[in-house]
Amino acid sequence: MSKVEFSPSLMTMDLDKFKEQITFLNDKVDSYHIDIMDGHYVPNITLSPWFIEELRKITDLPMSAHLMVTNPSLWVQQLVDMKCEWICMHAEVLDGLAFRLIDQIHDAGLKAGIVLNPETPIEMLFPYIELLDKITIMTIDPGFAGQRFIESTLDKIVALRELREEKGYNYVIEMDGSSNRKSFKRIDAAGPDIYIVGRSGLFGLDEDISKAFAIMAKDYEDMTGKTIK
């Protein structure tokens, strides 16, 4: 991936301004991040595959479904049927399921991703890492927006970049959690390919999405010396 990409986490957007915010962001960002929670793997219940169907009506950008669910096998086929471009599952619930579900996603011509919680080591991925299209590193505990940034998780991003270069793997590296002015410089030093931005980094900066995006872009440039798209 030649440049850093930005993917808004839509569970933190203002759903009263759904069409307005998505229409504006379509020309500004690279993809959309859709959190799907079952109320079991994490206590919250948020977006659903239905949300992706609604989003399709007003955007052509790729979508990435983040399955924070206890049994991903119950959800993957729905997302495959919707042609969700990225389907990302938590490594912590994949024992005995990983190869079958990754193959199911790939057989549909879609991309398979794995998500790691802050305390989960990258070694958990090694049995199937060469099959992955994306690895997402949680920099907060999953399930709640607005948590503190866990800086030690950035070491995993660095390790995954080094491993990709050494082994010739093709996955992209994504970070998820508290990506904002306070953390942009540290994240940039670790070097992920994709930033997920939510309430603290984008949607909570101003009620007007155009102003919020301008603030985010300035924050990123101020802290990294780089520009967004």
- The pLDDT of residue 72: 94
Say if residues 115 and 174 touch (Cβ distance below 8 Å): no
Active site residue 141: no
- The pLDDT of residue 25: 98
DSSP code per residue over 89-133: EEGGG-TTTHHHHHHHHHHTT-EEEEEE-TT--GGGGTTTGGG-S
Structural tokens at position 61: 């950008």
The reply, when asked if residue 33 is annotated as ligand binding, is yes
Active site residue 176: yes
Strand, coil or helix: what is 196?
strand
Q: Which of 35, 133, 193, 219 is catalytic?
A: 35
Which pTM value belongs to this model? 0.94
Residue range 126-147, pLDDT digits in tens:
999 999 999 999 998 875 655 6
Residue range 64-112, pLDDT digits in tens:
999 999 899 999 999 999 999 999 999 999 999 999 999 999 999 999 9
Q: How confident is the model at residue 15 (pLDDT cuts 50, 70, 90)?
A: confident
Q: Which of 38, 176, 193, 219 is catalytic?
A: 176
The reply, when asked if residue 214 is annotated as ligand binding, is no
**Farthest-apart Cα atoms in the chain, separation:** 46
Of 12-26, 73-87, 143-157, the one with minimum mean pLDDT is 143-157
Domain boundaries, the chain: 5-224
Residue range 192-225, pLDDT digits in tens:
999 999 999 999 999 999 999 999 999 999 999 9
Residue 160 has pLDDT above 60, yes or no: yes
The reply, when asked if residue 146 is annotated as ligand binding, is yes
Q: Residue 67: which H helix or E strand, with range?
A: strand 63-68
The reply, when asked if residue 178 is annotated as ligand binding, is yes
The reply, when asked if residue 106 is annotated as ligand binding, is no
CATH topology of domain 5-224: TIM Barrel (3.20.20)
